[in-house]
Amino acid sequence: MSIENVMVIGAGQMGSGIAQVCAQAGYTVVLHDLKPEFTERGMSGIRKNLQRQVDKGRMEDGEKEDILARMSLSTDLENAANADLVIEAAVENMEVKSALFAELDNIAQKKTILATNTSSLPITEIAAATQRPQKVIGMHFMNPVPVMKLVEIIRGLATEDSVYKAVEEMTEKLGKVPVEVNDFPGFVSNRILMPMINEAIYTVYEGVAAPEAVDEVMKLGMNHPMGPLTLADFIGLDTCLYIMETLHDGFGDDKYRPCPLLRKYVKAGWLGKKSGRGFYTYET
């Protein structure tokens, strides 16, 4: 199963990062989003990332230009007809993803693999929106994509072995480490990470310690490079809440109940770094 042409849907931080690493690995990449300003913003970020590598002496200027030459922008989903692999990195919402996969199923060639970068939603349910569930798979990249080595690869109930193998080999070609994970809410990464973040929020909510103290304990005592509340602000508190709700709905277990303080911050629009305020304040 040969993969040469890749379409990445969603030109946000995750999607543009995925597009960048694919182009760096030699794939021809189409970066797609709903509006030209979204794709242009994504491409601008990629150019800055690559230029930073040139400035640090990690990449030649000619190599940067070759990578950019392998990339093109799209606002027409019909371009999926030319892809061997489509990687979806759209908003973390089941209705949006299901509708998108149903549309892609009608456009893409029968041999095309449809992958999702979902961080918590069931692959089997997304695959059920298509007539090719055997060719649907999860590829959960970590943020920031160019830096982080892990990719969780998640089979749906019907995913073929050949599809898994092709995606595993491609992940290695990207310079990443593929880890096979079964299709359960949150997979491994967020099933473990998000309850830890949620518990850290509870310690603030219950007055056990201030956010700075919680983060210091985890950094100095557990050798975490970043405290859980700082990390939550970087991920986005709305995203943390959504994933906790997915875990709570998926398992029906009270240990996944989102902290009321997390809900309060999200309702207040305190979403973390992207909004300028979360558990800490940021320059916007």
Is 165 annotated as contributing to ligand binding? no
Q: According to the annotation, is 42 in a ligand binding site?
A: no
DSSP 113-180: EEEE--SSS-HHHHHTTSS-GGGEEEEEE-SSTTT--EEEEEE-TT--HHHHHHHHHHHHHTT-EEEE
Q: Is 72 a catalytic residue?
A: no
56 marked ligand binding residue? no
Both tokens assigned to 49: 């990332």
> Was 17 annotated as part of a binding site?
no
Catalytic residue, chosen from 49, 190, 198, 275, is: 190
Kindly state the tokens that stand for 44: 């601008």
Of 74, 152, 198, 275, which residue is the catalytic one?
152
Nearest CA-CA partner of 83 in 57, 63, 110, 65: 110
Whether 14 has a binding-site annotation, put simply, is yes
| Known catalytic residue at 189 | no
Q: Which two tokens stand for residue 142?
A: 């970590």
Residue 140 designated active-site: yes
Please pick, among 5, 79, 117, 140, the residue that the annotation labels catalytic: 140
Q: State yes or no: is 37 an active-site residue.
A: no
The catalytically annotated residue of 119, 120, 198, 275 is 119
Helix 189-205, helix 228-235: angle, nearest 10: 110
The reply, when asked if residue 92 is annotated as ligand binding, is yes
Structure tokens at 12: 């946000």
Confirm whether residue 15 is marked as ligand binding: yes
175 is in an annotated binding site: no
In total, the chain counts a number of residues equal to 284
Q: Is 274 annotated as a binding residue?
A: yes
Give binding residues as ranges: 10-15, 33, 92, 97, 119, 143, 274
The residues annotated as belonging to the active site are 119, 140, 152, 190
Q: Please give the annotated binding residues for NAD(+), written as ranges.
A: 10-15, 33, 92, 97, 119, 143, 274
